[in-house]
Amino acid sequence: MSTSVADKLDAARADLADRDGVLVAFSGGVDSSAVAAIAHDALGDDAVACTAKSETLPAAELDDARRVADEIGIRHETAEFSELESEEFVENDDDRCYHCRTMRLSAMFDRAKELGVDVVCDGTNASDPGEGHRPGLRAVEELDAYSPLLEHGIAKSEVREIADEYGLSVADKPSMACLSSRIPTGLEVTEERLSRIEQAETVLRTWGFQQFRVRDHDGIARIEVGADELEDALDPDFVAAAQQHIGDLGFEHVTLDLEGYRTGSVSPADDADGESGAVGGQDDGDDEPLVEDVFAADYPTSDGV
């Protein structure tokens, strides 16, 4: 670890050590995991990690958050709520992430109050404010959550250094936004859409893909995979299997985006919210035209049908 990062880490740890206790809004991603590790290092049992459990959190991510909390040694709690009870969230406008993060952080503060903790920390880092339209950050400011990474000027690359210093398995984990970020702005967020997106991404994860999204364009599944994995996704066997298994989840068509994975391909062009931070968010950007449906041809499926 570089001297400058070590100095920032020392300052953040000393800062949190001065608190009576903190609750860390904990997604299990690299940012919130680094904050949780620093908090546990500084406060021991007076630090708590809390994961917001709702319809937009994949079950695999909750399992991973529990695993990482155990890896850190920090006490882990959950705060349950339903984003689908909010009409503003369901209508999925440009401020969806603001509504999402407001609800998630509010659940964090409610849980902290139950536990007798005064300070709620989130994983906003020093790189986040400069990454375009970030409505979720407005919720952080309004609810007065404390962002130690931001406060001490710790940028995203430095967060990964700190996570590596603590030996966290998520130090190189790709960013993961909540499931609603896969639904284009203006298309309602429903439980049905969230469920089939989660199942489709579970299929890709099971098949070994590391960086991916399944975008739900009102019944059309648009698969994005990382540039280094695109060749695998173009393999005829994968094409046949994806058409069969992902198509069976309720999608009318399954497509592959030939540009590969990129943040923000379904929402406002200057919005990249949710790719970092601790309480979930949005994976936004310009609405992209769908590419040619490369799965439409009659490829043989894996069972010969």
Per-domain residue ranges of the chain: 3-165
Structure confidence by residue, pLDDT tens digits, 70-79: 999 999 999 9
Backbone angles phi and psi of 239, in degrees to 5: -55, -50
pLDDT of residue 134: 66
Task: Indicate the pLDDT class of residue 136, thresholds 50, 70 and 90.
Answer: confident
Q: Between these two residues, 120 and 289, which has the higher pLDDT value?
A: 120
Residue 302, pLDDT score: 43
pLDDT of residue 130: 65
Residue 303 has pLDDT above 70, yes or no: no
pTM of the model: 0.80
Distance between CA atoms of 247 and 198, rounded to whole angstroms? 13
Confidence of residue 129 (pLDDT cuts 50, 70, 90): confident
Helices (H), the chain: 3-17, 30-43, 59-72, 87-90, 96-115, 135-143, 148-151, 156-165, 191-206, 230-233, 236-245
State the pLDDT confidence band at 177, using cuts at 50, 70 and 90. Answer: confident
Q: What is the dihedral of CA 145, 148, 154, 155, to 10 degrees?
A: -20
pLDDT at residue 243 greater than cutoff 80: yes
Position 62 scores a pLDDT of 94
CATH number corresponding to 3-165:
3.40.50.620
195 burial via Cβ count (<10 Å: 0-12, 13-18, 19+) = middle
- Residue 283: other Cβ atoms inside 10 A: 27
Residues near 42 by beta carbon (within 8 Å), at least 6 away in sequence: 13, 14, 16, 17
Q: For residue 119, is it left (φ>0), alpha (ψ between -120 and 50) or beta?
A: beta
pLDDT at 267 over 90: no
